[in-house]
Amino acid sequence: MDDPFVLIGELLLAFWPVVVIGVVVVVVFVGGPLLGCVLFAIAGAAGARVAASDETQDVDVTEFFEEQAASAATATAAATAAASATTGRNDSI
């Protein structure tokens, strides 16, 4: 009986194109996305470092919610006043 390593070596020599194609497929389908992720991360980090911070996007949270509460209170008061001013017959039917 032959040595298994010799048998494996003979099979690799006989079917080396299949082995090469298999290795290339694995490298392309695994290495390609990994390389893309690394390049995308590097580009994103470089872009974040180079870009100036836009301070117009900074929002004071307390001020934002105070404005929202004030506008909601105004809208509620207007709706209540409009509802109380339109008492009478319902001719919509």
pLDDT of residue 60: 80
The rounded distance, in Å, linking the Cα atoms of 23 and 16 is 10
- Provide the 8-state DSSP code for 18: H
**Residue the block writes with tokens 């995308």:** 40
pTM above 0.75, yes or no: no
- pLDDT band for 42, please (50, 70, 90 cuts): very high
Q: Report helix, strand or coil for 32.
A: helix
The domain ranges of the chain are 23-49
- pLDDT, tens digit, for every residue of 52-89? 776 666 778 888 889 999 999 888 888 777 766 666 66
Q: Report helix, strand or coil for 55.
A: helix
- Pick the residue with more confidence: 15 or 80? 15
Question: In whole angstroms, how far apart are CA 68 and each of 21, 41, 43?
Answer: 63, 38, 38
> Could you tell me how many residues make up the chain?
93
CA triple 78-82-83, angle to 5 deg: 120
Q: Letter for the amino acid at 29?
A: F
Residues 6+ apart with CB under 8 A from 19: 12
